[in-house]
Amino acid sequence: MAFLKYSLIRLVLFAPLFALFVYLQLGWLLAALCAGMMAFAISFLFFQKQRDQATASLHNRFSGKAKPLRTAGEVDDAEAEDRLVEAHPDVTVRTERRKDTDES
């Protein structure tokens, strides 16, 4: 959530600057570059707390410490497999995926 909040702050900074530079007839590319650099500088100087929170949330997500994101279907499948294994201990559930080596 912190990453989304910081991204929205950057977008809110970028959009009016871009519109201003296009209005000043700098050209689309130059307007985008100038607006991007100014939005970066403003967010870097004044939104350090939000940037640090966004960085921490990304670090937590990609460091392996976060809970894996699973869809409702994946959760239902896992629960069905657990019930099957508990009811029939002799059943083995194989989760690895096989590659088809059939080359015709």
pLDDT for residue 73: 83
Taking Cα atoms as reference points, which of 16, 42, 68 lies closest to residue 50? 42
pTM over 0.85: no
d(CA 10, CA 15): 9
Residue 83's region, left for phi above 0, alpha for psi from -120 to 50, else beta, is alpha
Per residue of the chain (104 residues), give pLDDT as tens.
888 999 999 999 999 999 999 999 999 999 999 999 999 999 999 999 999 999 988 888 888 776 777 788 888 888 888 888 888 888 776 767 666 555 54
Q: Which two tokens stand for residue 88?
A: 């029939």
What's the number of CA atoms in the CB half-sphere (13 Å) around residue 66? 11
Q: Domain ranges in the chain?
A: 2-72
